[in-house]
Structure formats: structure tokens, C-alpha cells
Structure 1
Amino acid sequence: MRQNPFPSSTLRARALRDDNTMNSLLHPNPNPNLNPSSFCFSAARRTTLSNLTNWIPFRLGERRIGLSTPRKGRHPAVRSAATIDEAGFLEADIRNPAISTSYRPSKIPQPNRVVLEAQTKVCTGPEQTKPLSQEQAVVVLDTILRSARGELKNEEVSKAQLGAFFAAMTIRANAFPEATQWSEGERHAMSILWPRLVQVLPQDVIFIADPEGTIMGPCSSIGPHFVGHGAAEMRLVGALREVLAGGHLGYEEVQGVLRDVLPLNPEDDTSVKVSESLLAAFLIGQRMNREIDRELKAYCLAFDDELGSPPIADVRSLTHYGEPYDGNTRFLRSTLFVAAVRACYDESCLLHGVEWMPPKYILHAINFSEISGYQGFQGGITEGQLLKFMGANTYLSPAQAKTLLEDENIGFAYVSQREACPSLYSLIGLREHIKKRPPLATSEKVQQFVRARGRESIVAGFYHEGYEDPLLMLMRRRKVHSGLVVKGEEGALSMTTKVRSVNASKGLPVNHCSGFRSPSNATNSDVDGISRESFSIEVNAKDYGFEPTDTPRTDRSVLRNIELGLAALGGEKGPAYDRIVLNAGMVDHLLGCSGAGDIMSALDRAREAIDSGKALNRLMNYIQASHKVT
């Protein structure tokens, strides 16, 4: 067998030094809930600040930023560090991280990079999978072998990685088309290394790799007889046999598995219900088999009643925003600012998500032989990060969010999956280790953590082909008045003013929108599916008077995203301002909201909400009120 081509000790030492330097930059002692009341002002400057109704100071690395809303109708302002120094703003021993990667929970163990890179190639769909070469397969299998022998003390291959990788190999062998089944190189590597692996791998992983004893040859007799340990694991093993064969499950079967095994508590070994290898294999296997409607509905609805019935907000209209939970890594994340705009004219908005979610991830290395020991960048910018950075309380319960939705001076709210659905939130660590997105990445965007007495709508973003119809199906299952899916940049809910490139990728273009809407005067009891109007359009911003501009880049900088959003809400015209206006007015129109029948009128209404200072006022009100709500 060829020698394993890992980096030399010199490269490892250099990588470690680079990691330490990067960690010191990306983890500047963050404060989860920065409270404006904890800051002090000099007595000499109290008069200077006495004309401010709101003053929200927070740190941007070494810079200090203040957000203020003057009295007497004066326009809101974003104040710089120099202005704050003049106002007597004192140093605080608090620093908030300015880069999205620093929000990754430190308690989650790092996955093995070699196997993770292999997972990016094989843990995906029948057309997207890229078989490994013999050299790559040898490196991966040898890494797994050495980890199982205890030779990789700080780079172990996790149980979840083992489950995901071998589930992918099994499904490819059993159900994928010839082009994405095992390559000759993979077969040869497995024939050499499997007899050694079967001696050291746990039985649940051997079952995943060869559940019926038909793939690995005579040395694999464990799979056909494996049943698991305990009732929950036995149910999971039974379902997994069907998944590993390329099959599908029933609605009740999927829900039963999820409710049996969640929430996970990896920190308490005594509470573990099932092997993480089996659960990882189940989640990635369902996605590789392209989950069908009944399976996706099971994921979507499984934990609706986890905390009891959702609170009902006394609002005329409520839009649930389903942004991808893993955030934006390149472009402006604008939904928080759009929500503040729409709230100004009684279109209440509920945002939901997490502070950090895989799998958005970039490795420094470009091939398998250079990966080990190197750290990657993880995670994109999310609404949770933006609000946390600005000092808002991001630990609100759905009941507290309801109160803020009903507040006539706010009208929008953010709820973390951590508070709203603890069972699904417990999967974050495992989701990083399976690498690719599971079915939950689709279903978690279509949630209703707070209900409304008035009309309800759901808006969700997507990018990859095949998810438009499933998202709309889930929205109809939720029985909302209107539903909208948007193909935005990075899959986010952000239509762009950029002109479509002649070299754009095939498939649906960015700014493609489709959905359904009920008459604007329909009540909850009128949502019958018959009176709904369906639509499908490509939004060309130039048709509505917007000048074509490139999308503002943030490149994982939470600070940059906030600066762009606040400047736009402060009235600064430009690409960020245009995108916020476009996404507020166009969503109003497409959802059939009151007063938005004419697109140009809807856009003008959004501009007025910004130019009057009302939208920025509401964002400032939210940051303060989030700490006071009970």
C-alpha cells in the first residue's frame, strides 16, 4: 500500500501557528447579549446625548459605533467612533466578533478534514456525486483505519462522519446510476483495506457499509444480523435498511424515528438513545435518495408541538421568513433590514434561524494530501449574528417574539431554533460532520413558531434545482394564505438589481419567483386552496426603475453587512438601499398584501419607510425592547 501523503511535521507546525493566529483574530471574546444600559457616559456629555430617544452603542472590533435616533423628527443617524468619543462614550470590556466564522460553537469537535473532503464528493445526489480516484480512496480509507486504531489523537474520524461516508458508499453501490457508482479505483482500494477495517470498526458502521452482506464479500457477515440496541435504535436500523437500499419511507415512519432519537445530548453519554453513525447515515441517506413529499412533510411537521401550541399574535398580517439557516458567505444579507421596512406599514415579519449552521465551508487545501491539519472557514452571516452583534437579545421565546410583533413601534421579531425547536437545534454538531445538507435544510425554512389572527404568509429562499416545488408544497400544507419562493443569490431571500450574466448557470435564473396567494380580503377560514392564484415570474429590477448594480459583497464580515444595512436604513442611496426597497416592495406585491396591488406604489411605500427614518427607528426599538420583553 502506498505511503499516506500527509503534510510533514514542518507543514503541521506552520498550520498550527496559522490556526492560532486566525483564532485570535476571529474569537475576540464575544458577548452574546450586549446591553446598551451597561455603558456609561460622562456627566459633561449627558446634555449632548439628551436629545436622543435611542442610543445603541456597540463595538466593532477596535472601533466603537453608536446608533442614534434624534428627537423632534430629525433623521436617524449612524454615529462613528470619533463622534462617540466626543460624546464621552467610555471603554467597555466587551468585544463582539465581526466575522461570521467566529460564531461556530467551540464545544463542537472538529471533523476530520480528509474524510470531510471525501464526503463533499460522495455524500450527494445521483448526478452530483464525484467518484474518488484510487489514490483518494486509499488516503480516505487509511485515515479511517488509523483513526479506528487510535492513531489520530487530535484528528479522529467522528462516528457521524463514518456513518455518512459509508452510507454514501452503500447507496451508490445499491441504487445510483453507473456513472456515479463506485469507480474502479474505489473498488480496488476497498478490496485492499476493508479486510483490515472490518477488524477495527464498530458493528453499527460495518452494518452501514454492508447491510445485507452483498457489497464487501464474505468477510462481512455482521450486517444482515445487526438489529441495534434498545427500542429507538432498533426502529432506526429497520428504517435505515430501506434507505441504504435506495428506498423511501412513510410519513409516520420518518416522524417516529425523529421523535424517538431527538433531542441529542452528546455531552451526556447516559442519555444517548442511538448511535450517531446510524443517525448520520439516516439523514444523509434520505437526502441522497431525494426525499419525496411525504418524507419531507414528516421532517417539517415532526416537532410542531414540541413546546405546545404556538402563541397567536394579534396582528393583521404576518410573514414568516425562511432564509437558509447556514447564512451568506459572499453577499449582503438584507432580510433583517427588509423586515424593519415592512413593519412600518403593518406587514409584521417573523424571522427565524440560528447564529451558525453548517455546511458552508471552505478548505485552505486543494487536494487530499494537503488537507490534514488545516482549518477551514465555516458558516455564513445570519440574522442571529447581525442582531447579536448589534446588542439585541437573541434568546427570545416564541411568546416573547409575539409581544414584539404586537408592539406598534416594532412589528417584527427574530426567534432562534435553539428556543423554538430544541430537538432540531441539537443536531447542529452532527450536521457539520455529515457535511452535506440533510432534508431538514429544506423543511426548517417552512415553520410557524408564532401564529397570527390575521393573514399569514411564508417566504423561503432556494438556489439548487429541485427545491422550488417541495417548498411550495410544504407552504400549502401549512395552510397559509400566500407562499413565495425566491431563487436569490446564495439561495437567500434577496432579489438582486444586477443584470443577469450571459454566462449564468443553466436552470432557473436568480430573481426567479413563484408561489401562490389568496385574495387580500380572505380570512383564515377562507384558505381552501381553490381561490388561490398561482404565479411564476422572473423579476427584472430595471423594469421598475432600478439602475443595474453589482450586489454588495460582505465576504463573511458581519461588520460590513451591518454597515451596509444601517447606511441604507439611514437613507444612503446605493446598491444596498435599492435591494432593500426591491425586496420589501416586491414581496408585498407578490404576496398580495394590502396596498401593494400596484408594484410602483409598493416600492414607493418601502422607500418612504426608509427615507422617513421609521424603519431605522423600528430596528433600534427592537434592539432595546428585546432585553425588556417578558
Structure 2
Amino acid sequence: MSNVFREFVQKVGSGNHTGENLTRAEAATATKMMLLGEATPAQIGAFLIAHRIKRPTGEELAGMLDAYEELGPKLQPITSARPAIVLGLPYDGRTRTAPISPVTALLLAAVGQPVVMHGGDRLPTKYGLPLIDIWQGLGVNWTALPLTKTQQVFEQTGVGFIYTPKHFPLINNIWEYRDQLGKRPPLATMELIWCPYAGDAHIITGFVHPPTEAMFQVALALRGVTKFTLVKGLEGSCDLPRDRTAIIGLSSSAPQELERLHLVPREYSFTTKNLPLGTTEELVADMQQVLLGNPGELMQTALWNGGFYLWRSGICPDMRSGIAKAAELLTSGAVASKLQELSQAVNLVAQNIFPKSNYHSHF
């Protein structure tokens, strides 16, 4: 048993009147002790559920990120005219609405905007559809690549994926606790703003509950992150909803202030509904139709999201031109070509064949 960790459990688990928040340094130490197995299973379980009930602070999230920074993997900087976009998506996946972020990533990379994603397999508590399964359905198998080879693919294509079971195995044990407890611990909140990239980055993350946005602001400010986008997205993802106004917080020149953006789908001629999630095979088939430039509900989602992210990354001057650019990229085959390039790069690198980079970041 760790007496140090017991003190952390006592602080977060003492109730409304006598409980205390952890300092940033304490949160970092507690996270490292859990990842390294220096606390007992009883202590880890007690801490995770007590911290869940207490709710984390932005300072605690910053400390957890410090621990991930110290112990976790990072893709190294690539030459790019723009900061890499790091998409923070819930690791336990999607169950209700069709995700679009892999298409968004390909679309951005097709115009020289590098994108980093991260995640694992089907995970608790939701056991929803994870990104890794969608990529595999599209012909891109990230699971076999060690970090050095993922780095090579990232340099060649502008798309990188940190596959946590292989690249960050220390967090694997924590997933068993999540399953047994049946609730997401604050670590799941922190992962949404984790940045496994060592270069200049633009953090884009989803959230569900408004207090989470405020926690993110504090944590990112403490970590010195000045470029971020916070999206009240579908199932906590970065995907903009079509059935309601998209509520988005944009980083501004004043660190503690958000620029607030409200995007109304019908004002841009989009139907106000989200495509339900069917089987993985159906989703992949729908994505392939989008990549062929064919109309449909998922194409509407792709244009809505693609337009926003092309504007937000500075490639297009406004939403309407972003939507038009997204349509052009999809119907011209440019995004499909990027997928083919990515699939080939992953396959060749896995076979120790290193093609010359075709990626240009100065589009």
C-alpha cells in the first residue's frame, strides 16, 4: 500500500464539507502512481470513483496532462505551414450517431493541414464504435505500427494516429477499472485534451456538459496552450451536430476568455437531422460513397464539418467558402486519393518499405 496515495484518496473522498481538491503537482503524482501500479487496486478504484463523484478541477486536469506528458508517447514535429490539429474524441466511441471525423481528417490532410488522432479499441463504459475500427474498414490498419513507423506515415501523409494499446500500454490497466466501476473517471475527461504531438498544435475537442468547457479552459491555460477549439458535439465528439445549433468556443487573444460561435445548420441550407449509426459495415459503405462524391445524409454531415474545419484551420476565409471547398475536394476525388495514399503508406511502412513523401503542408 502507498501511504502517499492514501492521502490523495482521503483528500478527494472526504465529502462536500471536508474534501479537498488536489494541487496540479498532486494530480500529476496520483496519475503517475496509478499508471505505474504504485498504488494498490483498492486505492486506485477508490480514487477513481471518489474523484468522479467530486468532479475534477481544471488544475487537476492540468496535472493529469503533466503525467501523460512525462510517461506517454508523442509524434515528433513535422515541417508544416500550420499547427497540427489534434482531434480529441471520447475513447469509448459512438453508439447513436454516425461519426465523420476520419473523413474530416482526410479532407484536411488533402489540403496540407496535418491531423493527429488518438484512441484504442472498443472500451468501457460505452463500448461504442471506436475510430480504429472505422479506419480499418477504410483500409488503414494503424494497430500494427510501432510509434516510429506511425511517425513515418505522419511525415509522408500528414495523418497520424496514436494507438494507445500499442503506443501507451501503461494506460491499458486503467481500462479494467473503468469497466468494473461502470463510470468514466476524470481521466476520460483529460484524454479529450491530451496532445500526443511535440510540435505546434491546435487542440480541438468535443464535450457534452458546459462545466467541462470551463475546466478545459483552465487546464489548457495552465499548460500554456493558446490554440484550441471546444465543440459541444455529437456524443461528446468534435463532430458538429445538424439537429441543433452548434455551440463552439474558440481560443482568443485573452487567455481566460472564449470567443463564442453559434452555427445554425439551416442557415447554410443543411437539413436539421443527424444520421443514426447503423452497423460498422454500413457506416464504412456510406463513407466510401462520400469519398466518391455521391450525395446523401453522410455527405451533408461531411460538408457541414468539413466547411467548419477548413475555415477554422485558416484554409478558407469563412464557413460558406469552406463548405464549397469541402464539396470540391470530395467530388474531385482529392479526399479519396488521400485515403489511398494513406492506406498505401501504412501498408508499405508495415512491410519496411519507405516510400518518398507526397505530403505538402503549404497548400
TM-score normalised according to structure 1 size: 0.52
For 1:183-262, list aligned pairs within 5 A. 229=1, 233-246=2-15, 247=19, 248-262=21-35
* Structure 1 pair 258–481 and aligned structure 2 pair: CA distance change class (3 A): closer
> Contact 2:97–2:276 (CA<8 Å) still a contact in 1?
yes
> Contact 2:75–2:151 (CA<8 Å) still a contact in 1?
no
Amino acid at match of 1:536: R
Matched, 1:348 2:114: yes
Shift of the alpha carbon at 1:594?
A: 2.9
Residue of structure 1 aligned with 2:249, choices 495, 506, 514: 514
- Partner in structure 1 of residue 150 of structure 2: 401
Shift of the alpha carbon at 1:336?
A: 0.5
Mean Cα displacement is larger for which, 618-627 or 569-578? 618-627
- Partner in structure 1 of residue 207 of structure 2: 462
* Structure 1 pair 333–470 and aligned structure 2 pair: CA distance change class (3 A): same
- Provide the secondary structure at the position in 2 that maps to 1:304: helix
* Structure 1 pair 353–536 and aligned structure 2 pair: CA distance change class (3 A): same
For 1:91-130, list aligned pairs within 5 A. none
- Provide the secondary structure at the position in 2 that maps to 1:513: strand
Residue of structure 2 aligned with 1:576, choices 294, 298, 313: 298
Percent identity for Structure 1 against Structure 2: 22
Residue of structure 2 aligned with 1:448, choices 173, 179, 195: 195
For 1:312-391, list aligned pairs within 5 A. 312-317=77-82, 318-360=84-126, 379-391=127-139
- Partner in structure 2 of residue 622 of structure 1: 342
- Partner in structure 2 of residue 82 of structure 1: none
Matched, 1:414 2:161: yes
Q: Would you tell me which structure has more helix in proportion to its own residues?
A: 2
For 1:68-147, list aligned pairs within 5 A. none
- Provide the secondary structure at the position in 2 that maps to 1:618: helix
Shift of the alpha carbon at 1:261?
A: 3.4
Shift of the alpha carbon at 1:532?
A: 9.7
Shift of the alpha carbon at 1:398?
A: 4.1
Higher relative contact order (CA 8 A, sep 6+): 2
- Provide the secondary structure at the position in 2 that maps to 1:595: coil
- Partner in structure 1 of residue 185 of structure 2: 438
Matched, 1:276 2:41: yes
- Provide the secondary structure at the position in 1 that maps to 2:240: coil
> Contact 2:250–2:261 (CA<8 Å) still a contact in 1?
no
Amino acid at match of 1:467: T
* CA deviation profile, 1:420-468 (whole Å, cap 9, x unmatched): 432223311111111111111111111222233xx52111011123111
Amino acid at match of 2:220: M
C-alpha distance in 1, partners of 2:233/2:68?
A: 28
- Provide the secondary structure at the position in 2 that maps to 1:625: helix
For 1:283-298, list aligned pairs within 5 A. 283-298=48-63
Shift of the alpha carbon at 1:303?
A: 2.2
- Provide the secondary structure at the position in 2 that maps to 1:550: coil
Shift of the alpha carbon at 1:386?
A: 1.1
For 1:506-545, list aligned pairs within 5 A. 511-517=246-252, 530=254, 534-545=258-269
> Contact 1:358–1:431 (CA<8 Å) still a contact in 2?
yes
Consecutive unaligned residues of structure 1, counting only runs of 5 or more, are: 1-228, 265-272, 361-378, 501-509, 518-528
> Contact 1:349–1:411 (CA<8 Å) still a contact in 2?
yes
Shift of the alpha carbon at 1:384?
A: 0.9
* CA deviation profile, 1:220-253 (whole Å, cap 9, x unmatched): xxxxxxxxx3xxx221112111222132222222
C-alpha distance in 2, partners of 1:380/1:406?
A: 30
* CA deviation profile, 1:252-311 (whole Å, cap 9, x unmatched): 2222222223245xxxxxxxx433122011012112111112211111221213257651
Residue of structure 2 aligned with 1:551, choices 268, 274, 279: 274
> Contact 1:333–1:382 (CA<8 Å) still a contact in 2?
no
Mean Cα displacement is larger for which, 439-448 or 386-395? 386-395
> Contact 1:402–1:450 (CA<8 Å) still a contact in 2?
no
- Provide the secondary structure at the position in 1 that maps to 2:211: coil
C-alpha distance in 2, partners of 1:626/1:328?
A: 25
* Structure 1 pair 585–402 and aligned structure 2 pair: CA distance change class (3 A): farther
Shift of the alpha carbon at 1:588?
A: 3.0
* Structure 1 pair 359–352 and aligned structure 2 pair: CA distance change class (3 A): same
> Contact 1:313–1:402 (CA<8 Å) still a contact in 2?
no
For 1:555-570, list aligned pairs within 5 A. 555=278, 557-570=279-292
- Provide the secondary structure at the position in 2 that maps to 1:427: helix
Residue of structure 2 aligned with 1:587, choices 305, 309, 316: 309
Shift of the alpha carbon at 1:477?
A: 4.0
> Contact 1:335–1:494 (CA<8 Å) still a contact in 2?
yes
Shift of the alpha carbon at 1:478?
A: 4.3
Consecutive unaligned residues of structure 2, counting only runs of 5 or more, are: 353-363
- Provide the secondary structure at the position in 2 that maps to 1:313: coil
- Provide the secondary structure at the position in 2 that maps to 1:355: coil
Shift of the alpha carbon at 1:549?
A: 4.3
Residue of structure 2 aligned with 1:599, choices 304, 309, 319: 319
Amino acid at match of 1:406: E
C-alpha distance in 2, partners of 1:439/1:239?
A: 14
* CA deviation profile, 1:333-377 (whole Å, cap 9, x unmatched): 1100110011111111111111222111xxxxxxxxxxxxxxxxx
> Contact 1:254–1:295 (CA<8 Å) still a contact in 2?
yes
Amino acid at match of 2:203: I
Amino acid at match of 1:599: M
> Contact 2:119–2:132 (CA<8 Å) still a contact in 1?
yes
C-alpha distance in 2, partners of 1:358/1:283?
A: 14
> Contact 1:398–1:450 (CA<8 Å) still a contact in 2?
no
Shift of the alpha carbon at 1:515?
A: 1.9
When Rg is computed on C-alpha atoms for both structures, the one with the higher figure is 1
> Contact 2:74–2:198 (CA<8 Å) still a contact in 1?
no
* Structure 1 pair 530–468 and aligned structure 2 pair: CA distance change class (3 A): closer
> Contact 2:139–2:343 (CA<8 Å) still a contact in 1?
yes
* Structure 1 pair 478–400 and aligned structure 2 pair: CA distance change class (3 A): farther
Shift of the alpha carbon at 1:402?
A: 3.1
